């Protein structure tokens, strides 16, 4: 199977086309045939044409193929007891507050924001604002990449309340122009998504909710969209999250007591591979989960994931995708309610933001998820490649083990995947993790990421385990 990442066109290919466009447009400018052109975007030519081959993480599968673990609790049976259909999802992005008064812009608004985020130096804000506006004026060739760097530098030295004051002093036209030039700069302008992420990280980790809501009116890169989750089927269902859910903040604490796999339960999104990875790592070494998340003074959370072996920061707000009754639509606490233990939701939202949106995290392998959390390379095997002693040594030694169940076609041949299998029932194209291995009894105990409260661990003979799963992923964790 081919690995895939977020479904966006390659930045490198787009850059090549833009370079050719620069030559053509420059020639037109020289001959005086074009006057006053203010926008130009050649990337639209290749947008959506390729599966991204240079994205942050990779997911297994053929650009969203049906042979990766993708199913969730809301899917229906196809009449033979096999899980069928795609998950329903959500839509939208963070709403936008109206431009606030500069004096009020520094007030923190997230529930867990600190009352002491620093003081505002008005002279420094005024100087930064002047530098920012100067950078965004650009020159004869418009706002170039260097101008955008100057604009970022103007904001970089400000604390949270000063950033609030800076943004409050800008009108909507200025903000929209800034975001537009980052995304679609003319000629030598524009930034890659990675470059834009640096600025969003700066703002998201320091600015207030009011400021971030206002900026989110002009970009979907602060709050990951969920309108593509589940495909057209979700959009056709009036009760699905795609038609009813909104971002909102629930009463929460980042951690409540000890960290463990029982803290998470997969929701209405096909990211079982990621939830199983989180649960497996939480079982193996809870400190890895705690160390992955930092609470910021403004009430947001910075998650540290691993991309190509390098630690990267992804900052998310505490607002989660909520159903009309206030319940989280996606991952949540296993059978619990308010105050919610937020760490599973924070990790899920961070991965969605890193990939691009929630739809991009549907379908994948535990090997990818465990590596993203631990920074240690996972290994993938057939079930026959690892003895029961090997499995026991990994789990007992503080490692994590994830499993991929059979495809629907293969699952139809197995009694484990039928409705009458009872408590031992398995689901096709689904990810699980190994909770324990009993060498003496010859059994393997595994867990469904739909939540231990509703789906108790399944213990089966080792021989059955070998027949009922197509891939086993191993990560040493720490």
Identify the domain boundary among 327, 358, 373.
373
- Among 358, 373, 388, the domain-final residue is 373
pLDDT at residue 1 is higher than 70: no
**Same domain, yes or no, for 340 and 413?**
no
Q: Are 366 and 464 contained in the same domain? A: no
Q: Which residue has the higher pLDDT, 284 or 193?
A: 284
Mean pLDDT in the chain?
79
With 50 as the cut, is the pLDDT of residue 143 above it? yes
pTM, two decimal places: 0.80
Split at pLDDT 50, 70, 90, the class of 53 is very low
Structural domain of 173? 102-215
Is the pLDDT at 311 greater than 60? The verdict is yes
- The answer to which of 74-78, 234-238, 313-317, 421-425 has the lowest mean pLDDT is 74-78
Tens-digit pLDDT profile for residues 324-375: 999 999 999 876 678 999 999 999 999 999 999 999 999 999 999 999 999 9
Residues 268, 344 share a domain: yes
Question: Does residue 223 sit within a domain?
Answer: no
**Which residue bears the tokens 């989280």?**
328
Total number of domains in the chain: 4
pLDDT, mean of residues 187-205? 85
The verdict on residue 385 lying in a domain is yes
Inside any domain, residue 129: yes
Residues 251 and 347 in one domain: yes
Nearest to 345 by CA among 318, 323, 326: 318
CATH of the domain at 455: 3.90.70.10
User: What is the mean predicted confidence (pLDDT) over 282-306?
Assistant: 97
Least confident of 29-38, 147-156, 241-250, 332-341: 29-38
Please check whether residues 362 and 422 belong to one and the same domain. no
pLDDT for res 333: 87
Asked if 209 and 238 sit in the same domain, the reply is: no
43 and 129 belong to one structural domain: no
Q: For residue 229, name the pLDDT band (cuts at 50, 70, 90).
A: confident
Instruction: Return the minimum-mean-pLDDT range out of 52-66, 91-105, 140-154, 275-289.
Output: 52-66
Can you read off the two tokens belonging to residue 212?
A: 């971030």
- The pLDDT of residue 60 is 29
Do residue 237 and residue 369 come from a single domain? yes
- In this structure, the answer to whether residues 369 and 448 fall within a common structural domain is no
Q: Quick count: other Cβ atoms within 10 Å of Cβ 141?
A: 16
Q: Do 113 and 32 belong together in one domain? A: no
Does 46 share its domain with 152?
Answer: no
Q: Final residue of a domain: which of 373, 406, 429? A: 373
Give the confidence band of 93 by pLDDT, cuts at 50, 70, 90: very low
């Amino acid at each position: 199977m081919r690995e895939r990442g977020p479904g966006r066109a390659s930045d490198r290919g787009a850059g090549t086309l833009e370079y050719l466009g620069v030559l053509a447009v420059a020639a037109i400018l020289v001959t005086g045939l074009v006057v006053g052109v203010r926008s130009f975007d050649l990337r639209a030519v290749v947008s959506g044409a390729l599966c991204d081959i240079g994205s942050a993480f990779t997911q297994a599968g053929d650009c969203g193929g049906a042979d990766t673990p993708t199913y969730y609790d809301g899917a229906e049976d196809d009449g033979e007891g096999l899980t069928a259909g795609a998950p329903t999802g959500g839509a939208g992005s963070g709403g936008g507050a109206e431009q606030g008064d500069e004096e009020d812009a520094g007030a923190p608004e997230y529930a867990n924001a600190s009352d002491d985020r620093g003081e505002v130096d008005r002279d420094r804000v005024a100087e930064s604002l002047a530098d920012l506006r100067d950078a965004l004026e650009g020159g004869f060739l418009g706002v170039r990449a260097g101008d955008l760097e100057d604009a970022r530098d103007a904001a970089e030295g400000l604390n949270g309340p000063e950033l609030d004051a800076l943004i409050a002093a800008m009108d909507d036209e200025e903000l929209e122009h800034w975001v537009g030039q980052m995304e679609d700069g003319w000629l030598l302008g524009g930034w890659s998504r990675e470059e834009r992420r640096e600025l969003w990280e700066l703002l998201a980790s320091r600015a207030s909710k009011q400021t971030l809501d206002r900026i989110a009116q002009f970009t979907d890169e602060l709050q990951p969209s969920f309108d593509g989750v589940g495909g057209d089927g979700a959009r056709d269902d009036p009760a699905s999250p795609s038609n009813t859910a909104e971002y909102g903040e629930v009463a929460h604490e980042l951690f409540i007591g000890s960290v463990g796999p029982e803290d998470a339960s997969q929701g209405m999104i096909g990211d079982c591979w990621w939830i199983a990875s989180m649960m497996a790592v939480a079982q193996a070494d809870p400190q890895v989960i705690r160390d992955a998340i930092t609470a910021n003074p403004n009430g947001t959370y910075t998650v540290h994931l691993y991309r190509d072996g390098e630690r990267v920061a992804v900052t998310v707000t505490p607002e989660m995708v909520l159903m009309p009754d206030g319940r989280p639509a996606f991952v949540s606490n296993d059978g619990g309610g308010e105050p919610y233990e937020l760490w599973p939701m924070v990790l899920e939202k961070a991965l969605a933001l890193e990939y691009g949106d929630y739809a991009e995290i549907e379908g994948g392998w535990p090997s990818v998820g465990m590596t993203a959390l631990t920074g240690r390379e996972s290994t993938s095997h057939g079930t026959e490649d690892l003895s029961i002693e090997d499995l026991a040594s990994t789990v007992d030694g503080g490692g994590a083990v994830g499993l991929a169940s059979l495809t629907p076609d293969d699952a139809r041949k197995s009694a484990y995947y039928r409705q009458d299998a009872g408590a031992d029932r398995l689901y096709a194209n689904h990810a699980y993790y190994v909770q324990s291995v009993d060498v003496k009894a010859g059994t393997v105990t595994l867990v469904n990421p739909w939540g231990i409260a509703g789906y108790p661990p399944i213990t089966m003979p080792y021989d059955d385990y070998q027949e009922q799963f197509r891939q086993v992923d191993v990560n040493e964790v720490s």
